[in-house]
Amino acid sequence: MQEYKSIGRSLPRTDALAKVTGEALYTADLKLPRMLCAKVLRSPYPHAKILHIDTSRALKLPGVKAVVTGFDGEGVKWGVFKSTQDHGMLPTDKVRYIGEDVAAVAAVDEETAMEALELIRVEYEPLPAVFDPEEAMSEGAPLIHNQYPNNINIHVHIEVGDVEKALKGAYLVREDTFRAAGEAYAMMEPYAVLAHYHNGYLDMWMPNAGPHVRAKALSNLLKIPLNRVRVRRVHIGGAFGGRSEVQPADFATALLSIKAERPVKLVLSREENAIATRQVHDMIATIKTAADRDGKIVAKVFKVIYDGGAYSSTGPIATSIPYYVYEETYRFPNVRYDGYRVFTNKGIRGMYGCHGRAFLAGNEQQLDMIAEELGIDPVEIRLRNGIGQGEETATRSKIISCGLQETIKEAAQRSKWHSKRKGMPRGRGIGMGCVAIMCGFPMGFRSGSSCYVKINDDGQVTIVTGVVDNGQGNESMMVQIASEVLGVPMEDINLVNADTEVTNLDPGAYSQAAAFVSGNAVKRACEEAKSKILSLASDKLGVAAEDLDLKDRMVISKSDPQKQIPLRWVVREAFFMGSPIVGTGAYMPKIDFQREWVKNPYGQMAGTFSFGTSVAEVEIDQETGQVRIPHFVAAHDCGNPINPMAVEGQLEGSIQQAGVATVMEENRWDGGLLLNPDLLEYKVPLACDMPEIETVIVRSYDPEGPFGAKEGGLTIRMNAHSAVACAVCNALGVPVKELPLTPDRVLKVIEEVKGK
Amino acid sequence: MKVNFKVNGEEVSVEVKEYETLLETLRERLELTGAKEGCGLGACGACTVLLDGRPARSCLVLTPEVEGREVETIEGLKEGEELHPLQEAFIERGAVQCGFCTSGMLLTAKALLDSNPNPSREKIKEVISSNLCRCTGYDKIVEAIAEAARRLRKGQDVGMEKESH
Amino acid sequence: MILPPLQYRRARDLKEVWELYELYDGEVSFLAGGTDLLPRLKLRLERPKAVIDLKEIGELQEVSEDEKFLRIGSLINLFDLRGDERVRSLFPALLQSLEATSCETLQMRGTIGGNLLQDTRCLFYNQSEFWRRAKGFCLKMGGQICNATGGKECFSNYCSDNAPALVSLSAEVRLLSPQGERQIPLEKLYTGEGERPFALLPGEVLAEVLIPKGESKGGYEKLRMRGAIDYPLVGVAFSLRDGRGKLSVAGVGPKPLLYEVDELTEGGIEEAAERASHDARPVGNASLAPSYRRRMVKILAKRLMGGILKEAER
């Protein structure tokens, strides 16, 4: 493998200095002259007709500068697909969940805005509501949207091979139903928006995971030309999939700014962030697995119900993602998948970094039970079924690079699997979870990214890319790639990013694309600039361009290092010649765009795939049912890691957010009321709850990835729950079918086992 | 009402509402936005500042309560031009991701190291369990604090040697 | 999250407290560490005209001893108390309950008086005004029914970690008011009614916590989801002194319950744990299932008492 100067090194991130000094500005920190403060009036009903909204009294309150409702909008609805455009942001017909945005006020200060909310009169006619997805699907349930019969938002049906035949011929068939409560994203930064409408332009700041798609949505909703909606770069306090889409808060704040002709800032409370941005799907997964005598999976049949909440959101995608990441892990010759996303009168559910724990932890536990029945070790059954390079997934995605087997072996070895699995004392267990994740995701023409680079007259570099950083280190990664190609230190590189006025389309940071897609675009742009530099330097030095390279701010001959010239001299020469050094580069992942999420779910899903394996150890208190996780190993194949330290950070965070979450995190409900919209009763694991962690980066090389890199953000986030559930299953001898594994649920299982 | 106190070593005299929290005063009136509001109810620690050297949730302190007292925020952690060893270690060890918890985490860690120059890994974990982080899994934060403690001890040793010469 | 308008008054002594109390017609809240009060004010759970800051009252900040008692001023913060040598060596139940309280940062702010006088909690009550209006006000908010059970009784839980530890240590509290002074056993401070959990006279201030001197064996067991920050879902304290045991349980009802355990045998322990579990009145208003929490009262009480007896035998 090639040696790199910068790639593959654990380097400090470019954004870290601003963050440790408190200088990094997040949306709530921003202030503009004459800025107003916004507050939102929310629905106290889970389901009710809006009969009338009277804002006149609020408008008369001194200090109130604007009040808006859905009636001030253009009546446009948003949805990620044409067929799912059902969200008008501020409703005019009826409210569909408690906390739904109904009206918004902009006033000179927060107190006045709050007082004004009290003066808005909304007449509602309460309607019967439904909170359980199975109930919502049944005949006679209250209909939440007229255009979706039986409240079925999306039904994804996938059929591969001959399932019935395979079931008949199988040696062993097992069927179980697993349930999991939805989680809260609980990103540390509560949602906030600053909107500034001036001279016909709308400038917007908000934590977002894709500025370009956000600007497009706002342009549609507000009927403002796209070039006049400018989503600006700002520091972002976490996303995890929950900041992918346009929010009612964006729309309301923009409308207020347009009306008041002043900048308006809206900062949500923690509770509002929990009930009125995005939540995670609750899920019921019925899984049937058929295996042959050797433990090879011969068929899979799935019925999965996703509680979607009140609107479509990213539903069309969320309804099958857990399945796809699983078929990208193991060979399924015959499959039937039926995924239903169902509307209920609860908050809107979106994609999540750890999406699908009922499905994934369920499948992996079932695999262990099958292995047990056949006398095969869980590691062995995973190796036997694990997909490999050159193979195709059930729905025909080709795997161009694959380190799955290595992650399994590495995780097993580091966790001392083979000695531990056999001799575990009572109440202890060890479990493994595997998963793959797509890199470069189908989003139509938005799947690709592009980058511009210019070399400035002092030899310093400016790169311009749409890539956004939610905290994972995407910005730094782009700078590191540019540094590698252009042979200048990272501090010589300025990054302009995530600002729709100057940057070009990028798939965003919610679709596993930053390293693989955006990174490739940055690399290509810098390579174009490099070739221009080398060609010019070749004339100057009298050395063939192929013999030249960029290193330490110099152009240097590879064969005769004495022959060199400072980069900035070459750049100045280029200015003289009237052709400054600039480069552009773009990358579009090789995806089958005939493929479609619902109508045609077959064909190449992504450019390539990352793989990962988690191993968790658990200790269960037999009297209290409390599960402790003393040790956790995560092994990840992300190709050639660009910044190993950043990748490790992703793995460690995943162990917290998916692994430890498995024993404590859930949104709890009282009908349509979220019982824990705070950070006290919603249990984000603390430092003292964390296991000892070992992370392993299994280095491989992806032929398409920039410097062989693939995505480093997920996998462990989507299999750490499996490892914990499998470990508990190992300790108790039976699968645990209801997540999270809170002590009351675990004790119930312990008692059931005892009772048998 | 007027409240007089010290912020990052400087005397300030601020006109505030009697029912204003220290977090609001710092962010809105003194434009020290490094302290963040993550929950407003004391559950997350993102608003942590040092009050007379001890960590406090500034969202749970009324500004009038700090009359005559000393407040240190993240903006005051640097020593002149120099980063505090904790800041250096957080950068170098990858302890920062989204950064929203970072200010509070650093100040909690500073109070710890000020009173205990050689905390065990377990002690560090216990103390920073006052602060939520959603990104890092805390591992690199613990490492960074341990590393900063080492550097601070080394720095003190060097200082002592100098004195004795 | 902003606070509703209110006035801030600092009292230099108790006389001033009571003058201010009169001035605002009793519509005041006493402010010590603020870790319980500020969230309550922000959530609009109480709406005083003024908060009276007690923190400068010197007589409430001392730890002293007389012949009978270790006397702890109510303004002493939990962290400092945790560091007190006498607490560390004489009162293990209290030391463990202090360590188990929330997290270090909040221990440094929260006071022992405030901790004992923290209001009862419920998932249907400790919510924003928006939330409570959407649900309809509960008994504790002056409504007609309990939102957790639909019944006519308030099931909010008293969630101090330190109260059961102090009750197990036979602690008393000294209360001062314009009407005079009284000293009562700590467990008598509680009414057992979720809506109004404290038996305090108008303007009465908790001045001191008094723990009978002398060595004790003991401990504190806490059921919680996370290793820090969380309130107890069940809190069980046990102290053993002069051959007599006292068990106290909190977190599963509106007040800490006390059980004398005179028979220090396996049977005696079993019986006390059983009684405590029987008396617990958990409902579905906290993180874990109520039937589970009731069972944990017994499990944790037995585990705690068994361990301490074993230790005492050594």
Of all residues in chain C, the percent with pLDDT exceeding 90 is 98
What pLDDT is attached to residue B157?
Answer: 65
| Two tokens, residue B1 | 């009402």
- Residue pLDDT, tens place only, C90-117: 999 999 999 999 999 999 999 999 999 9
Q: Do C287 and A683 touch (CB under 8 A)?
A: yes
User: What pLDDT shows up at residue B83?
Assistant: 97
Q: Under 8 Å CB-to-CB from B80, ≥6 apart: which residues?
A: none
Q: Which residue of chain C is at minimal alpha-carbon distance from B36?
A: C1
Res. C290: pLDDT tops 70: yes
According to the model, what pLDDT value does residue B163 have? 41
How far is Cα A483 from Cα A471, in angstroms, rounded to an integer? 21
Structure tokens at A568: 């900035």
pLDDT of A308 over the 90 cut = yes
Interface of C with B (CB under 8 A): 1-8, 10, 31, 34-35, 38-39, 42-43, 51, 53, 55, 103-106, 108-109, 227-229
For residue B106, the chain A residues in CB contact (below 8 A) are 20
3-state secondary structure of A106: strand
Instruction: Please state, in angstroms and rounded to a whole number, the distance separating the CA atoms of residues C289 and A745.
Output: 9
Among A22, A189, A687, the residue with its CB nearest the CB of B74 is A22
Note the pTM of the prediction, 2 decimals. Answer: 0.97
- Pick from B134, B142, B147 the residue to mutate for testing the A interface (most A CBs within 10 Å): B134
Nearest to C133 among A44, A111, A269 (CB): A44
Does B60 touch chain A if contact means CB atoms closer than 8 Å?
A: no
Dihedral angle of Cα A251, A254, A255, A260, to the nearest 10 degrees: 160
Instruction: Categorize the per-residue pLDDT at B162 as very low, low, confident or very high, splitting at 50, 70 and 90.
Output: very low
Read off the pLDDT of residues A235-250 as tens digits, 9 standing for 90 and up. Answer: 999 999 999 999 999 9
Q: How confident is the model at residue A426 (pLDDT cuts 50, 70, 90)?
A: confident
For A80-129, write each residue's pLDDT tens digit.
988 999 999 999 999 999 999 999 999 999 999 999 999 999 999 999 99
In sequence order, the 6+-apart residues with CB closer than 8 A to the CB of A386 are A329, A330, A331, A404, A405, A408, A434
DSSP states of A558-604: SS-TT-EEEHHHHHHHHHHTT---EEEEEE-----TT--SSS---S-
Scan residues 257-296 of A and list those with Cβ closer than 8 Å to B.
267, 269-270
Q: What is the pLDDT of residue A424?
A: 87
Closest CA to C22 of C37, C34, C11: C11
CB pairs under 8 A between A and C: 73
**B77 shares contact with chain A (CB less than 8 Å):** yes
Tell if the CB–CB gap between B134 and A654 is shorter than 8 Å: no
Q: Cα–Cα distance between A716 and A713 in angstroms, integer? A: 8
How high is the ipTM of this complex?
0.97
* Chain C residue nearest residue B22, CA to CA: C2
The pLDDT of residue B58: 98
Using CB atoms, list chains with 3+ pairs below 8 Å to chain A: B, C
Mutation to test the A interface, candidates C124, C127, C293, most A Cβ within 10 Å: C127
Distance CA A729, CA A727 (A): 5
What are the tens digits of pLDDT across the range B80-106? 899 999 999 999 999 999 999 999 999
Percent of residues, chain A, with pLDDT higher than 70: 100
Which residues lie below 8 Å from residue B113, measured CB to CB, with a gap of 6+?
B86, B119, B145, B148, B149, B152
Residue in the structure block whose two tokens are 């609805």: A77
Structure tokens given for A693:
């962690």
Q: Is the pLDDT of residue B159 over 70?
A: no
Using pLDDT thresholds of 50, 70 and 90, give the confidence band for residue B164.
very low
Q: Chain B: give the shortest CA distance to residue C241, in Å.
A: 31
pLDDT tens digits, B38-52: 999 999 999 999 999
pLDDT the model gives residue C314? 78
Distance from CA of A214 to the nearest CA of C (A): 27
In percent, the amount of chain C with pLDDT more than 70 equals 100
> What's the whole-number mean pLDDT along residues B106-117?
98
Instruction: Name the strands in the sheet holding C69-73, side by side, starting at the edge strand that comes first in the sequence.
Output: C63-65, C69-73, C205-212, C172-177, C180-185
Q: Which long-range contacts (CB under 8 A, 24 or more apart) does C281-285 make?
A: C281/C155, C281/C252, C281/C253, C282/C157, C282/C252, C282/C253, C283/C148, C283/C149, C283/C155, C284/C148, C284/C149, C285/C122, C285/C123, C285/C124, C285/C125, C285/C148, C285/C155, C285/C156, C285/C157
- List pLDDT tens digits, range A630-667: 999 999 999 999 999 999 999 999 999 999 999 999 99
pLDDT tens-digit map of A159-200: 999 999 999 999 999 999 999 999 999 999 999 999 999 999
Q: For A593-637, how does the pLDDT look when each residue is reduced to its tens digit (9 = 90+)?
A: 999 999 999 999 999 999 999 999 999 999 999 999 999 999 999
Residue A316: cis peptide before it, omega within 30 degrees of 0: no
* Residue A722 binned pLDDT confidence (cut-offs 50, 70, 90): very high
- The Cα–Cα gap between C70 and C86 comes to 8
pLDDT of residue A1: 55
Chains in contact with C via at least 3 Cβ–Cβ pairs below 8 Å: A, B
Report the amino acid identity of residue A351. M
Kindly state the percentage of chain B with pLDDT values over 70.
Answer: 95
| Nearest chain B alpha carbon to A690 | B137
Give yes or no for residue C138 having a pLDDT over 50: yes
**Quick one: average pLDDT of B64-71?**
98
Min Cα–Cα distance to chain B from A160, Å: 38
